[in-house]
Amino acid sequence: MYYLGIDIGGTKCAVTVAEKEKMNIIAKKAFPTDNGRDYRAVIDEIIKTAHSLFDENGVSPESVLAAGISCGGPLNSRTGVIMSPPNLPGWDNVPVCDILKNEFGFPVFLQNDANACALAEWKFGAGQGCENMVFLTFGTGMGAGLILNGRLYTGANDMAGEAGHIRLRENGPVGYGKAGSFEGFCSGGGIARNAKMKARELLGKGVTTSLFKDENDIERITAKSLAEAAENGDGFAAEIYSECGRELGRGLAVLIDILNPELIVIGSIYARSENLLRESMLASLKEEALGVSLSACRTVPAALGEKTGDYAALGTAAHGYERMMKDE
């Protein structure tokens, strides 16, 4: 028996087939989303790609238990409708689960990417065996997926876990439309904006570093180039990451105090640059979080790495199917 995973992103889509027992991925194909296309054209290509994978690997649709879709929100996981995500222009109230179920005949489940990644790490990665876990995306944006009492928690209307909107400081880089927010300090764009703002202040005083000598250099700053400079001993870059770590700790303290998780799993930038963030993060956590709650919680990088997107969609399929079988 098999699961089908579908990862719908603003840049590309990936379709994956995996065996149920050990969740071994047996086939995968990806293609550009191409936002110039109508959503129906993209869904048609998903269908065509899935049929191609089935045919090439001797998989009959009757042997597929379920499909899972991981996609940026907003969306309605209960009705299976994608509702105008910013990275998918024209995808307005698209009943993607019904369309695919009508094509294939098996059930199709939908989760936003933070929840889907939380399911992936919980079922197949760093969170295996946990009852209470928080997953943080920490990439282009900052969002959380919540596993509470052994269940995915999505909230009243799929908006649980919007941690990036929490304000950590009165002023600071903008993220999620709010200055000084968790996403403003702890996301790829936020790190770059914070660095550019402070680099311009230094340049105005005649100060330069190995990272920048003029305005053109400042414009080219990214979270990745900052991390590389920090690794190579640039003090300015190291301090930007240290500040990010401090604010990360403040944000995590809020989650720990409210949710009392046993594990926090952080993806993307944290997984790549833990050594630049962890010391200041832990110092902030010690200052801000309740000691008894902090002592019960570990913070670790995501374990699935580049496979997260694939396993997020497959985890959504497995989770949806298991819940469906329990409810019958």
pLDDT digits (tens, 9 = 90+) for 162-194: 999 999 999 888 888 899 999 999 999 999 999
Determine contact, residues 312/116, Cβ cutoff 8 Å.
yes
Instruction: For residue range 205-242, list pLDDT tens digits in order.
Output: 999 999 999 999 999 999 999 999 999 999 999 999 99
Beta bridge partners of 30: 14
Amino acid at 126: A
pTM here is: 0.91
Domain spanning 126-303 has what CATH number?
Answer: 3.30.420.40
What is the rounded CA–CA span in Å between residue 261 and residue 252? 10
For residue 266, the cross-strand partners are 136, 301
Q: What is the DSSP string of 110-163?
A: EEEHHHHHHHHHHHHSTTTT-SSEEEE--SSS--EEEEETTEEE--SSS-TT-G
**244 near 113, Cβ under 8 Å?**
no
Give CA–CA dist 286/292, Å, rounded. Answer: 11
The DSSP secondary-structure symbol of 167 reads: B
Instruction: Return the SS3 of 110.
Output: strand
Q: Largest alpha-carbon pair distance within the chain?
A: 69
Domain 2-113 coded CATH 3.30.420.40: yes
Say what the pLDDT of residue 305 is.
86
Whole-number pLDDT of residue 34: 83
303 phi and psi angles, rounded to 5 deg:
-100, -20
Element (H, E) at 65: strand 64-71
Residues of the chain with pLDDT under 70: 328
Residues 59/18, Cβ–Cβ less than 8 Å: no
- Percent of the chain beyond pLDDT 90? 87
Q: Strand 151-153 and strand 75-76: pairing? A: unpaired
Res 326: pLDDT: 84
Please give the helix or strand (H or E) that residue 270 lies within, else none: helix 268-288
pLDDT for residue 328: 57
The H-or-E segment that residue 175 falls in is strand 174-175
Residues carrying CATH 3.30.420.40, the chain: 2-113, 126-303
